[in-house]
Structure 1
């Protein structure tokens, strides 16, 4: 069988793989993109899994990082059918006592909400948002570019001066619980910050959790938590449509079995069906790091240091997700939750710590923290008029729900948590489907064991420690092979930066080799031709 040949092979058509393919094609490279599933998108997909006419996002649903990402914004995806929709308010944290703190795209409205929990907290919130506006652009550039972000870092220093930069450095390692107590007196602001921090797997009293909560709260007021009109699949399809318009060959149902090496360099891939695709210049893998190195490359082909580092790789917690078709709006007790696209529920400020402690010791939480999505509230096209397409997910210890009885028990806990803040919720359920950690992993092999961030977001596995101690860059120990998935810096979330950084690294390496070859030829011809 004759092998197909391209400048680059991209493994995986998740958002990072699709961005990488677009970036390489824009540079004039011939690209083949291989996806194991029968459709593109990775963890950006939607389908009808509850009832006819109800569109359910199967994995990710709200996209503040995509809306803020200069990578995604630079692709002009509106030209390929992507349209963003917003709920009336961004997010609410619904408490069991009937109150709710509400995050709005208008910072003044957010401030008014947290002011209800403690006098003075509104002004403190606005001061925090002023800090965000001061450093927004250079900070986002620093977040979404390869490490170290030298140029963006200098811009941050110029914007904040040394004292302000040191405050930002402290924020980057501050626990979110401490961040809240230093700045606010009431539980409203603390709930918003901590709930957003818990989108990652970092406990609220752990170093680095503060910056996650702060960043998502600020982005929520800046760009909102938008959703693609018509479902998450529209986002993936827009990325794929753009790539195809640039000549990228996208092949689905094409599972890669191995990365092929010649002379120690990545030169192509072998498919599960026996086919091969050769890469003249580079192989980019939108794959979790352990699967890339252990399964596709092989540990015997890696340096001893890399093999040892992989043994210390830490996954993030597993995820259990429920999807509902509802015959009407969710009957929230708290007025502020009705218009929110995302609702946090199940715990109060202290309950976050209890939930995280359970996960840390491998115990299934009795009172889980839930993220709840009201998709029709955000995008009316998601279900018939007057109904609601909804979902909720929570984190559990890895392997804790392998027993069907344990799974059913935790589904009951999740339902009870919703009922506490929305009495009568269950009476509105037309249909429900559950996605266990194993279901998530089976549907997207990058969600190993139900982990949605391709590795913990804890500080010991971020920046130069992601995915293993090194330079925090997409280059791998194998020349010509680049890590383009969320195991690479800057990590999980739908922002495209991991794929973009890998593509830039491949292009930069190729330019360096081309320059070296030209210099070598000039030297050689000079010797032949003489003075």
Structure 2
């Protein structure tokens, strides 16, 4: 048996953030990673053609760049550097028009004014409000629930009337939010396309907050990428942890959380038991933690019942291409954009989301496309492009290879329509279907990237199930550190940081019986008594 103060299950970015913060506090930490690689969905590799680097899962990182969690780790001291494409985002409409988000506010305004005169100034008004509240808003979003300090900061800036109106707007579907803010389709499309980085349709409540957040961050800080690929974030987190004495064990999938008298005591793998003197933190999906690693014996019956209603976000199909030239876009507005949205106007996005909601494969896929060499020239030789695109599919247990191949053909047809000659310039291609994503990273269950739906009914104190909205679990000294926990998906480190803070609070300040009594009181109020 091996031992440490903390055992962390999973070396995804959240697990690595948690491990780093505990190591900063002087704890000994062992991280157990099921695969041969650290990083989870923050990794890079050469999978298309020699000389072409691809970010295998996630790529552009506005939340990571702005996150107080990641910035507080001083990862630039471990080699992390950021860079930007000339433009942040371009949404290409089927009729050939384009709406562009640029870090240059005047360029964004000019693009949106082409759709409706005055929309540029409306965008500036929204951005001015965002700048006034961005720091407390990020504090409110990324810190543990309830977000007392961040909410107080927003209230100070806006006053009660302004804060109430902001709260209402953030609950709106993105179509309705866009209708209230703008006259033309271009600005609303920027918001709606950003919202579809999650699994929220233009008609779903809460989509406005995601669209507004990602768009405003794009205006403020851009959507940067690490120089040398997404792997650089992981490399920096690993180097920082190892410098502080933390250790990662690879090819060591956790099989069981060891529990005694309602308290997490360690983790069992196939080969070894790992004793945790102070805490176990799990960067895994909530159903895997509770049902597979802990087991019903130690859980309240109501929690087990609630997990039956846990909803995954949609599946993902991602394709990487090596392109021997720059992309031959018909509309030059797309040439300098790191991210391009294409395949639908606003009504088309609603139809696309409607197919997903009914379990059907969208006949006209909406694509989120990344031009990695445009953003970071180190991704491929000069004059070429390392390209990726992904689209959503319904979440289901099995996909036939022919279904995936047919949908890749649809994706390429969408790109070809906007960039004639694209197919002729492709020298390599790599496809990650939903099952491939889960094989490479077991946390991406069924190809779901967000650790569970971003719908309002599974957010805040309802994430991952109705409860406290915090990292604490009904098992003492066991903490949920993955994206199934508040605040959810995205590369920002907040779930890992929140779990580390909860573990530290359990060990100091509110210690021992007082802490257990407080958490047990909250759990009992929500779930009743655990069976164990």
Equivalent position of 2:519 in the other structure: none
Equivalent position of 2:403 in the other structure: 406
- In the alignment, the residues of structure 2 paired with residue 206 and residue 513 of structure 1 have an alpha-carbon distance, to the nearest angstrom, of 40
Task: Give deviations 1:79-118, integer Å, cap 9, x for gaps.
Answer: 1011111100011001222221111112221111101111
Equivalent position of 1:305 in the other structure: 302
**Paired residue secondary structure (2:505):** helix
**Paired residue secondary structure (1:256):** coil
| 1:401 positional shift | 6.5
Given candidates 416, 422, 427, the residue that maps to 1:425 is 422
- In the alignment, the residues of structure 1 paired with residue 298 and residue 210 of structure 2 have an alpha-carbon distance, to the nearest angstrom, of 36
Equivalent position of 2:198 in the other structure: 200
Would the aligned equivalents of 2:505 and 2:511 in 1 still touch at CA under 8 Å? no
State the Cα RMSD in Å: 1.1
State the TM-score, normalizing by the size of structure 2: 0.95
Equivalent position of 2:505 in the other structure: 508
- In the alignment, the residues of structure 2 paired with residue 316 and residue 504 of structure 1 have an alpha-carbon distance, to the nearest angstrom, of 27
Would the aligned equivalents of 1:483 and 1:502 in 2 still touch at CA under 8 Å? yes
- In the alignment, the residues of structure 2 paired with residue 330 and residue 49 of structure 1 have an alpha-carbon distance, to the nearest angstrom, of 19
Q: How does 1:436-515 map to 2 (within 5 A)?
A: 436-512=433-509, 514=511
Residues 48 and 480 of structure 1, relative CA distance in 2, 3 Å threshold: same
Equivalent position of 1:65 in the other structure: 63
Q: Any runs of at least 4 consecutive aligned residues in structure 1 with deviations exceeding 3 A, and if so which?
A: 512-517
- In the alignment, the residues of structure 1 paired with residue 79 and residue 197 of structure 2 have an alpha-carbon distance, to the nearest angstrom, of 28
**Paired residue secondary structure (2:453):** coil
Equivalent position of 2:320 in the other structure: 323
Equivalent position of 1:20 in the other structure: 18
Would the aligned equivalents of 1:364 and 1:400 in 2 still touch at CA under 8 Å? no
Q: Which runs of 5+ in 1 are unaligned?
A: 518-531
Moved more, 176-185 or 211-220: 176-185
Matched, 1:387 2:353: no
Equivalent position of 2:212 in the other structure: 214
Q: How does 1:514-525 map to 2 (within 5 A)?
A: 514=511
**Paired residue secondary structure (1:108):** helix
- In the alignment, the residues of structure 2 paired with residue 400 and residue 71 of structure 1 have an alpha-carbon distance, to the nearest angstrom, of 34
| 1:37 positional shift | 1.1
| 1:400 positional shift | 8.0
Equivalent position of 1:343 in the other structure: 340
| 1:399 positional shift | 2.7
| 1:134 positional shift | 1.3
Would the aligned equivalents of 1:302 and 1:477 in 2 still touch at CA under 8 Å? yes
Q: Which runs of 5+ in 2 are unaligned?
A: 515-532
- Paired residues in the alignment total 514
Residues 515 and 318 of structure 1, relative CA distance in 2, 3 Å threshold: closer
Residues 486 and 105 of structure 1, relative CA distance in 2, 3 Å threshold: same
Residues 351 and 504 of structure 1, relative CA distance in 2, 3 Å threshold: same
- In the alignment, the residues of structure 2 paired with residue 293 and residue 321 of structure 1 have an alpha-carbon distance, to the nearest angstrom, of 29
Would the aligned equivalents of 2:4 and 2:276 in 1 still touch at CA under 8 Å? yes
Would the aligned equivalents of 1:401 and 1:407 in 2 still touch at CA under 8 Å? no
- In the alignment, the residues of structure 1 paired with residue 333 and residue 56 of structure 2 have an alpha-carbon distance, to the nearest angstrom, of 26
Matched, 1:288 2:285: yes
Residues 327 and 217 of structure 1, relative CA distance in 2, 3 Å threshold: same
Matched, 1:367 2:358: no
Would the aligned equivalents of 2:506 and 2:512 in 1 still touch at CA under 8 Å? no
Q: How does 1:228-247 map to 2 (within 5 A)?
A: 228-247=226-245
Residues 507 and 35 of structure 1, relative CA distance in 2, 3 Å threshold: same
Residues 401 and 192 of structure 1, relative CA distance in 2, 3 Å threshold: farther
Task: Give deviations 1:407-431, integer Å, cap 9, x for gaps.
Answer: 1111111111111111111111001
Would the aligned equivalents of 1:100 and 1:335 in 2 still touch at CA under 8 Å? no
- In the alignment, the residues of structure 1 paired with residue 218 and residue 398 of structure 2 have an alpha-carbon distance, to the nearest angstrom, of 32
